[in-house]
Structure 1
Amino acid sequence: MLMHEIKHIENHDYYIKQFVNFLTITYWWFPPVYILRKNIDLFLEIRVDEKVVKKMSERERLNYAQLLIHVQKSLVNKTDPFAKEYYSFLIDDSSNVLEYRIRYILEESFMKKTNYLLLVVICSLVFFSNSIIFEASFPAPSAETPYVTISEDTIDNAYIIQHKDGTYTLFIDGEEGSIEDPTVSPFSEIPIIKE
């Protein structure tokens, strides 16, 4: 077990796990990041298992597998509710993951490799997913739709000035804006002053 942990330190797995935790925190809303975290953890454990058992005899491999099962059982049987937090870095496997690791150790199937192009695509998917932004779409207002909404309170403080050139300016509480047609609602109730 000490050899296993030494290999984790030599491989700088702590930094990899912290980086994956950072990704998970940053992209918490993106479900594939949780799958990535689970698979990275599994990969790190299997990589270390491979290095530890590489030069072991079949009997030593069985002892190593039994040790993994024993450690997992010990952690499950802990009565301390915080035990999982203390030991999660050492071994945090479900029974399926532990079974996969043991089969991997005993069958010596260390030659499986993932296509590097696939790994690059999956890793870049996490980063490029941030470039997709969903925004609400609103239709552009038509010429008949007034841009201003006027409440009952503001009608008393509003007036329209009709200029000599035929344009109209709306004044509401000291603010001004041009309007096309003062006969359209809600402007029809506002008094018009000729210039």
Structure 2
Amino acid sequence: MSVTVFSFVMSVLFSALFIVAIHMLRNQPLFLHSFGVHTIFGLYALCLFRTAVVLELPFTVPIGLNDMFSTGFETVWAAQISVGDSQIRVLLALCGIWAVISVTLIVQFLWKSWKVSRKAEWYSTNKDSRAERVLERVKNESWRMPAVSVCICPTLDIPMGTGLFRHRICLPEHEYTQEEMYYILKHEYTHFCNRDLTVKFLAHLFCCIFWWNPAVYLLKKDISQILEIKCDIRATEKFSKRERLEYLLTIVRVLERAESTGRTQPPMLSTGLASRKNQDDTRERFRMITAVPRSISRLCQGAFWTLAVTLVMLSYSFVLQPAFDPPVEDIYTNESVEEFSTDGAYISERADGSYSLVLSNGAIYDNLNRIALETYMNEGLKIRKE
């Protein structure tokens, strides 16, 4: 096993193709209703595996490409730029730019996330006794009980959850009914139970590292929406039809209040009950909550996952790389080496059991050894008995 430039290129190429394919599947309502959001999540996990494991495995077959591919690679590989009195390879400079921008984006992302956590700390003492009582009810109904606190944040216009380690639900300074408060806290608490902030954190880091790959932005957008749908489904799975309707109406009312205040969107590393940016995403969530899920057999699920894993493994079966003819000096190492064509040549089997190579120009090379004989036979030369 080894890591090469070509195995890295293949990893980026295949993971991008897989992300685009999953994005297309994810936008098919039939697939989403039949296989569910967990399948989409699992497929994206396979993509991340394909991106992270940049290896040429023992069974990987190198496929050499000539002409434009080889010429282009050789040009890029040998290209240099002048920096002062020094010459630096273009590929090395590009790797440096990639690293600098990636580190800058990661630092910027962590800094903004820290500021959000810091602001939540400021309002952590701004308690609301009614919200705390409702949160206790939500905790008692939950299958998992992470430590979560609730506070009032006047600068917000949409409820949100924040904090990778110190989980907080921050509520805007609005008057909510008892039902609205319950559905808001139920949604945000379910996010913490699902560890959705950890998933969003990893997805953002992935985008910061591979910022130059357009496919990762599809992944980030899809994961954010899938997390919301998964949270909605889990939060409402035991609700009656009336409770589901009230849950949806709560989202609508939160959006209406947010439109009237016109404040900023929740930060990147947070979960929000609703988003003003894309109304289509909200409509999709509504359809997933109200739609009756389609049942699909375990056989179909097993066949689908077998196909997905097989495609990922097949992507390791070959690697594209440039093919170059060896230099003449590597072939003709001394004066005893000569070149000839095997076109029209054949192998002559003598009566004494020896073999000779007969060329089309009449030249004869006697006493071929076993290795030479097998080599010429593999090249397609026929044996003629004398």
**Equivalent position of 1:98 in the other structure:** 282
> Aligned in 2, Cα 1:59/1:39: closer, same or farther, shift over 3 Å?
same
Work out the percentage of aligned pairs sharing the same amino acid: 26
Contact 1:75 / 1:84 at 8 angstroms: preserved in 2? Answer: no
Greater mean deviation of Cα atoms: 38-47 or 85-94? 85-94
Whether 1:6 aligns to 2:189 is yes
> Aligned in 2, Cα 1:15/1:55: closer, same or farther, shift over 3 Å?
same
Q: Distance in 2 between matches of 1:110 and 1:48?
A: 19
Aligned residues: 127
Q: Distance in 2 between matches of 1:28 and 1:119?
A: 26
| Cα shift readout 1:46-71 (whole Å, capped 9, x = no counterpart) | 11111111111111111111111222
Matches within 5 A, 1:41-190: 41-80=224-263, 83-86=264-267, 89-90=271-272, 91-92=274-275, 94-109=278-293, 115-116=304-305, 118=308
- For structure 2, the 5+ residue unaligned runs are 1-183, 322-386
Matches within 5 A, 1:16-27: 16-27=199-210
Q: Distance in 1 between matches of 2:259 and 2:310?
A: 36
Q: Distance in 1 between matches of 2:257 and 2:311?
A: 39
- For structure 1, the 5+ residue unaligned runs are 134-195
The alignment's TM-score, normalised by the length of structure 2, stands at 0.29
1:72 CA displacement: 2.4
Contact 1:21 / 1:37 at 8 angstroms: preserved in 2? Answer: yes
1:119 CA displacement: 8.3
SS of the equivalent of 1:39 reads helix
> Aligned in 2, Cα 1:15/1:120: closer, same or farther, shift over 3 Å?
farther
SS of the equivalent of 2:281 reads helix
**Equivalent position of 1:152 in the other structure:** none
Contact 2:187 / 2:235 at 8 angstroms: preserved in 1? Answer: yes
Q: Distance in 2 between matches of 1:69 and 1:120?
A: 43
| Cα shift readout 1:99-158 (whole Å, capped 9, x = no counterpart) | 000011011327588954648968xx9xx9xx999xxxxxxxxxxxxxxxxxxxxxxxxx
SS of the equivalent of 2:261 reads coil
Q: Distance in 1 between matches of 2:283 and 2:221?
A: 15
User: Where do 4+ consecutive residues of structure 1 move more than 6 Å?
Assistant: 119-122
| Cα shift readout 1:50-95 (whole Å, capped 9, x = no counterpart) | 1111111111111111111222232333333xx2145963133510
